[in-house]
Amino acid sequence: MKIDPRAGSPAEPRDLVDVGKLIAAYYADRPDPAVPEQQVSFGTSGHRGSAFARAFNEWHILAIAQSICDWRQQERIDGPLFMGIDTHALSQPAFETALEVLAANAVEVMIAADGRYTPTPAVSHAILTYNRGRTAGLADGIVVTPSHNPPEDGGFKYNPPHGGPAGEETTSWIQARANAALRAGLAGVRRVPLAKAVVMPSTHRHDFVGAYAGDLGEVLDMAAIRGSGIRLGVDPLGGAGVDYWGVIAERHGLDLAVVNQAVDPRFGFMTLDWDGRIRMDPSSPYAMRRLIGLKDDFDIAVACDTDHDRHGVVTRGAGLLPPNHYLAACVDYLLAHRPEWRPDLAVGKTVVSSGILDRLTARRGRRLYEVPVGFKWFVDGLLAGWLGFAGEESAGATFLRRDGTVWTTDKDGIAAALLAAEMTARLGRDPGEVYAGLTRELGTPVYGRLEAPATREQKAALAGLSNLVAGRGGGTGGTGGTGESHDPGESGGTRESDDRGGSGGSGESGGTREGTAPAMTGITELAGEPVRQVLTAAPGDGQPIGGIKVLADSGWFAARPSGTEEIYKIYAESFRGEEHLRRIEEEAQSIVSRLLAHQPTRD
């Protein structure tokens, strides 16, 4: 990736979005449902886009909100709907639009009191807390957020009764119905004026922050943090958790300072990300430049993205920890310091996360559960308690309560960030030091990511490699492959992410490490080493990874198309250093180009 010369520099007036024009475009501009880029499109985490591009406008939210109401009716989901919101400029108007539709459909909506923002993990926590012990009248939720995307973007995601991101069956249904509503000029969409919606008997105020902060001791050893005297610095990056950190500090007696309490929908306080754009990414050394500069003022400094589902951790010795480094430190620590967790639980990772997690779990005698990109694939395991930790390379993670029961089934940047303080308090070593110790024992991986141009047809071909390779008779990385997500340590499991909060059906045991024979694809060598696996489906659950992963003993690469841009991404890692990594990346590009060149053209 080409780094912009202004990356890491403070944002200037020319970088700031015109909020007035953006909101005006939200209300005034109507999407053309015949244009693919202007349709409703649920990616790995809801519908996202900019009002300027007619990709996130009032009509989109009216259509999506009504479709969610219709889905709830079809699935007989009739409990309360917990609704969260972040600080992006488009979030408030979208929140209001959605509330108008939800109220008109008599949905019992739970919103924060006093117009407070509500992070993603607080919504997931609220859903699961309400549904605990219930089999009927289940709750679900909506979070209005585009995550760490630039200020001009909006986002809207749905969390079913299981509390995590909706599965493909759900999102496909909602997406199709919403696009049909757009084509029909919003026929069938019910709506009441906002002034009426906010005072209707079905609209309730909920203490999200009190409930979430009060329960943090169930997932973290807050007494250890408090007793250690560790000084914590926190930058909410102007996000939805801005009011949460003070409550957490007061409730649990922590020495915690919020270094930036500003809320600005332009995010003018940010330093520019790698491409010269404003992006609230707590894993980016460019976006995190200010907090990194404060590392010597605190024992641990942390940040979260705009909806607080991602984390960033800064230590005095290591600076900003790359996400894979911190995930490894978390796994190593949790497996040794959660005695009430079941001894046979698994550790979850995505196919593009570091291979040090494979080595670490093997050393600990634990099972690894490797899934495609997308946190939805972890939901069932977290809910059932056989998945102790789930993490992805983009700095998203959650883990079980200390007693081994579910905490959240969506990413929790707050808990993940505070775990760094617990780790430091109990070990006397910060996460950077913990990771350094792991590399001395397990090797030092070097990780990289590249992007390359790709047409829409090439992206579709890359995503379809799973079907191509499977059709040639090779294995797909698991013995299941039927859409099942279940405990890989048991035969018989549960079907894919039951969005009503339970699991049903059965399937064959998955989770094998078998992959497509290298000879089947013609990929037999990678950077001088024999290829031992070519995966087009995830080893943990047998689900297609939407691309390809090639593994050798000392390194690997994975290639998958972007869901939002005309590019494909290559993730690569080497345990033999930078030069070996560069060679893997070069060969990966050649392999992907060759595979795409041999794909049949589509009519």
Q: Write down all domains in the chain, each with its CATH number in brackets.
A: 16-211 (3.40.120.10), 446-478+514-597 (3.30.310.50)
DSSP for 346-375, please give it.
EEEEETTS-THHHHHHHHHT-EEEEE-SSG
Residue 505 pLDDT level (bands cut at 50, 70, 90): very low
First to last CA, the chain: 33
Closest CA to 270 of 561, 6, 567: 6
Backbone angles phi, psi at 92, to 5 degrees: -65, -50
Candidate from 28-32, 380-384, 398-402, 493-497 with smallest mean pLDDT: 493-497
Which has the higher per-residue pLDDT, 43 or 543?
Answer: 543
For 103, which DSSP code?
H
Q: Is the pLDDT confidence value at 498 over 90?
A: no
Question: CA distances (Å), 238 to each of 16, 26, 198, 303, 480, in order?
Answer: 15, 22, 26, 10, 43
pTM here is 0.92
Chain position carrying tokens 């589902």:
309
Question: CA distances (Å), 94 to each of 153, 180, 438, 451, in order?
Answer: 11, 20, 45, 32
Q: pLDDT, tens digit, for every residue of 106-118? A: 999 999 998 899 9
Active centre residues (catalytic): 147
Spatial distance between the Cα atoms of 273 and 263, rounded to a whole number of angstroms: 19
Residue 513 pLDDT level (bands cut at 50, 70, 90): very low
| Residue range 133-145: mean pLDDT, rounded | 98
Question: CA distances (Å), 261 to each of 227, 240, 254, 257, 299, in order?
Answer: 26, 11, 18, 10, 20
Spatial distance between the Cα atoms of 319 and 285, rounded to a whole number of angstroms: 9
Strand order in the sheet with 255-258: 255-258, 231-235, 300-304, 311-315, 319-320
What confidence score (pLDDT) does residue 159 get?
A: 98
74 Cβ contact partners less than 8 Å away, ≥ 6 residues apart = none
> Using N-to-C axis directions, what is the helix angle for 323-337 and 356-364, rounded to 10°?
10
Q: Is the pLDDT confidence value at 214 over 60?
A: yes
Percent with pLDDT over 70 in the chain: 89
What confidence score (pLDDT) does residue 248 get?
A: 98
Is residue 158 within 8 A of residue 171, CB to CB? The reply is yes
For 516, which DSSP code?
B
What confidence score (pLDDT) does residue 445 get?
A: 98
Strands 140-144 and 81-85: parallel
Q: pLDDT, tens digit, for every residue of 426-480? A: 999 999 999 999 999 999 999 999 988 888 888 888 888 766 554 443 333 332 3
Backbone angles phi, psi at 396, to 5 degrees: -115, 135
**Averaged pLDDT score across all residues of the chain:** 91
Backbone angles phi, psi at 412, to 5 degrees: -130, 95
Spatial distance between the Cα atoms of 270 and 266, rounded to a whole number of angstroms: 9
Angular region, 358: left φ>0, alpha ψ -120 to 50, beta rest = alpha
